[in-house]
Structure 1
């Protein structure tokens, strides 16, 4: 019996090896080149999950700006560099406007919401979210006022540290999350509120899971992984717990809803559900409400707080840049609270924020797209429904667009007159039809939080500037700053 089993295994191994050596059948659609995939598992052995991004960058060096990799038996086309990404997402924006498969969100949200949906559902959900956020027909205060108010709470928390060293991660996460809570739920939470802390834990845990080795393994083998016990189950549970939190808020909003006086995003969605309750094919139902709300939490929480945290680390390393920002704030704004209108009058500060986003590059792989029809792209044929990775890090770090991209230099965003200079390759929020819906909100948050804090405090640390490391903590599919502690020294 043992001998027969051994022989069978050897035969199977020989068969797999023969198939791989001969290569996959010639692709009549002429996909871009790439590493030869193994049967069934694709290129998983050539792509190290813990070095996912590095693996893609090495393939770029070997195969050029467009190449194909296989996750299992499914091809994914990876597009690198500003020219190629622009050609896809901007010049052919309709064809590349599909959302690629994302195993974790699909498992939890089943294709509902904004980010993970396609077709008419995506168009309706995106249009509704953009219109609601733009008009903000919920309550009396604008988004800017809510951010300004939260910035003052953040100033209070920084002040309580009394110049002692502290890790800003928690405070920044609370402040940014409260903005989304204000938009979605019409309320903010105390930084000590247990329910709020549980919410933050789930958002952070879910993001870290999706950018972890286990998250990538789940994406590769999601068909079986959700049946198998392991650390990935805890990561997925964070998403289900967040979904349950939002459902509780929806249930409360239903009880107190006044269609004539909407208070927040959930209220607006509930009103739309009532208006279309007789339409059996309506996309305005509970599942899309939960999906859209979860999307907004992720799009507007972890990314913005991580960018601020990375930005503060850069200012600790380059105190002369921090001092120039403060000089500009003192001269233009003075003691009054910063406002969104100030962005045009303090160009150096705006340039620093742009460079923080470019340099920190916190979503290096972007979010997967897919093709909505067959397309001939740079002499290759990409079939309809093919997953496409526009590798944003290769745009933000494109040496042809940003010379010496590894150097932190805000001056690259200033012209010879000191005004902010626009860069076509500055795409931290991606581009085309799928550009991040939270771009306007994130830009306002970054500006108001940073200027309000630097107006009140000078950020310092006991670590020598030469010893502060700006390279990311890990680069599987996301960039996070290394942990650090700083002091907030009152300026006045």
Structure 2
């Protein structure tokens, strides 16, 4: 019996080894990458080797090249780093890499609906509608600027209550940015103490919290197991259901009010589109897609802009010379209290500061993954159809081949020798190609209007005894700064 058991173990080990060799042979055309072990693939390198943060893919690219593979169990992921490689994916061969990933967790979260995680005719119709409707609602025009201005002034009032004492600005910033999305989507803003509003912002935070963490990776590798185990992935799924439920309640309110006959917000325009297309068999416009669109607008439009604004305050407090120079330019050019987004063209240094904040502290871990639409041959590698690909936008914004001092906060990256603002093709903070960020124009407007109003009202200073705020990002789908406190000193008392 003992000999039989030993023989069985030897046979099992041999079969596993042969299976492993077969896998390695099948993967020979993929780009190189960390050693892929049975069951876990290459994630041992992430969690037990160099650690998982914004620098991880960059360090792996230094070892394996601008195009490398990372296996999540049996799932291949190909990561592109640096401007040239990412440009090839997003711009030069955009159609080959245009689909969103269809993994177990992301499919459950997105359900093939909405804008961010859908593909095919559904994505094309929903995205086109989103672009057209945001323009109708005034993105890039005075009407939306007024809503952003209102929220920025509300944030100024919240900061003023701190009377120059150290405080954490994070929650107030997130609430203000979320209310901009509320105004565009629902047609009104929420009081900050409103329970529905609190659920909304908490739902967004929970959904993003799980992303790219260990439990997310385990779910993608072993969905049949993770569906039955507790963890952050279950919180994310519950948060998604809660957001969709809140969206459906707002949709029902709009239907009962019949306000879509004279549309005033995103829901109204969508309900009107459903009515127009009710006899079109190719239409994807329905309540489920509308609810998912609303979910996507909050997930994509709240945390990224809020994260950039949190970084802005931290960086300006750490670099008072840059803050003072931007403030001096703003006060010298914007003579009256009122201003518009178009005034940014008159503020080259401030414009450079805004771009440099978003370059040096990209608000996402690396961007949103995609998958190949067909077999792709690139630089001698074969990337099969349906392979997950990650264009690492973070690596583009820190590419030492294109930025003079990539790891420094340096507005000169966007200025010529005469102090004029220069647009940089390497600035891909909003992506590029067919999947470029839907809300890019809205985010740019928000960032400018909020920051100008805050700088005109306050000088941001380090708390007493603090020499410097931590500039290392926290790891996750979004990469906000570690919690910090700052002093928002009213300008009248700081001069």
Task: Specify the TM-score bucket, using the shorter chain as the normaliser.
Answer: over 0.9
> What is the RMSD of the two structures over their aligned residues, measured on CA atoms?
2.4
Structure 1 CA distance for aligned equivalents of residues 337 and 54 of structure 2: 44
Structure 2 CA distance for aligned equivalents of residues 161 and 235 of structure 1: 33
SS of the equivalent of 2:95 reads coil
Q: Residues 106 and 5 of structure 1: is their aligned pair in 2 closer, same or farther, counting only changes over 3 Å?
A: farther
Aligned pair count? 489
Structure 2 CA distance for aligned equivalents of residues 249 and 277 of structure 1: 21
Structure 2 CA distance for aligned equivalents of residues 397 and 10 of structure 1: 50
Structure 1 CA distance for aligned equivalents of residues 136 and 439 of structure 2: 14
**Cα distance, 1:275 vs structure 2:** 1.4
Structure 2 CA distance for aligned equivalents of residues 3 and 209 of structure 1: 48
Task: Tell me which residue corresponds to 2:392.
Answer: 391
Query: For each residue in 1:286-345, what CA deviation from the matched residue of structure 2 results, as whole angstroms up to 9, or x when unmatched?
Result: 121111111111111011001100111001100111111110111111341331011001
8 Å contact from structure 1 (residues 42, 71) kept in 2: yes
Q: Residues 165 and 8 of structure 1: is their aligned pair in 2 closer, same or farther, counting only changes over 3 Å?
A: farther
**Cα distance, 1:122 vs structure 2:** 0.9
Structure 1 CA distance for aligned equivalents of residues 8 and 465 of structure 2: 62
SS of the equivalent of 2:391 reads strand
Q: Residues 156 and 41 of structure 1: is their aligned pair in 2 closer, same or farther, counting only changes over 3 Å?
A: same
Task: Tell me which residue corresponds to 1:155.
Answer: 156
Task: Tell me which residue corresponds to 2:25.
Answer: 25
Structure 1 CA distance for aligned equivalents of residues 430 and 224 of structure 2: 30
Task: Tell me which residue corresponds to 2:293.
Answer: 292
Task: Tell me which residue corresponds to 2:206.
Answer: 205
Query: For each residue in 1:107-155, what CA deviation from the matched residue of structure 2 results, as whole angstroms up to 9, or x when unmatched?
Result: 13311001111111111111100000012179x9721111011111111
**Cα distance, 1:22 vs structure 2:** 6.6
8 Å contact from structure 2 (residues 30, 381) kept in 1: yes
Matches within 5 A, 1:192-231: 192-231=193-232
8 Å contact from structure 1 (residues 23, 36) kept in 2: no
Task: Tell me which residue corresponds to 2:342.
Answer: 341
Structure 2 CA distance for aligned equivalents of residues 291 and 6 of structure 1: 55
**Cα distance, 1:103 vs structure 2:** 4.2
8 Å contact from structure 2 (residues 462, 468) kept in 1: no
8 Å contact from structure 2 (residues 215, 231) kept in 1: no
Structure 2 CA distance for aligned equivalents of residues 362 and 13 of structure 1: 45
Task: Tell me which residue corresponds to 1:237.
Answer: 238
Answering whether residue 486 of structure 2 is matched by residue 486 of structure 1, we say yes
**Cα distance, 1:212 vs structure 2:** 3.3
8 Å contact from structure 1 (residues 51, 476) kept in 2: no
Task: Tell me which residue corresponds to 2:41.
Answer: 42
Structure 2 CA distance for aligned equivalents of residues 196 and 92 of structure 1: 41
SS of the equivalent of 2:77 reads strand
Query: For each residue in 1:394-445, what CA deviation from the matched residue of structure 2 results, as whole angstroms up to 9, or x when unmatched?
Result: 1010001112211110111111121111111111111111111011000100
Structure 1 CA distance for aligned equivalents of residues 123 and 138 of structure 2: 22
TM-score scaled by length of structure 1: 0.93
Task: Tell me which residue corresponds to 1:91.
Answer: 92
Structure 2 CA distance for aligned equivalents of residues 126 and 20 of structure 1: 42
8 Å contact from structure 1 (residues 34, 67) kept in 2: yes
8 Å contact from structure 2 (residues 364, 479) kept in 1: yes
Task: Tell me which residue corresponds to 1:108.
Answer: 109
Q: Residues 91 and 465 of structure 1: is their aligned pair in 2 closer, same or farther, counting only changes over 3 Å?
A: farther
Task: Tell me which residue corresponds to 1:66.
Answer: 67
SS of the equivalent of 1:417 reads coil
Task: Tell me which residue corresponds to 1:408.
Answer: 409
Q: Residues 466 and 221 of structure 1: is their aligned pair in 2 closer, same or farther, counting only changes over 3 Å?
A: farther
Structure 1 CA distance for aligned equivalents of residues 44 and 181 of structure 2: 40
Structure 2 CA distance for aligned equivalents of residues 246 and 331 of structure 1: 44
Return structure 1 stretches of 4+ with deviation > 4 angstroms: 1-11, 52-55, 463-466
**Cα distance, 1:178 vs structure 2:** 0.4
8 Å contact from structure 2 (residues 365, 476) kept in 1: no
Q: Residues 20 and 373 of structure 1: is their aligned pair in 2 closer, same or farther, counting only changes over 3 Å?
A: closer
Q: Residues 465 and 360 of structure 1: is their aligned pair in 2 closer, same or farther, counting only changes over 3 Å?
A: farther
Matches within 5 A, 1:264-413: 264-413=265-414
Query: For each residue in 1:180-216, what CA deviation from the matched residue of structure 2 results, as whole angstroms up to 9, or x when unmatched?
Result: 0011100001122222112111111221222433333
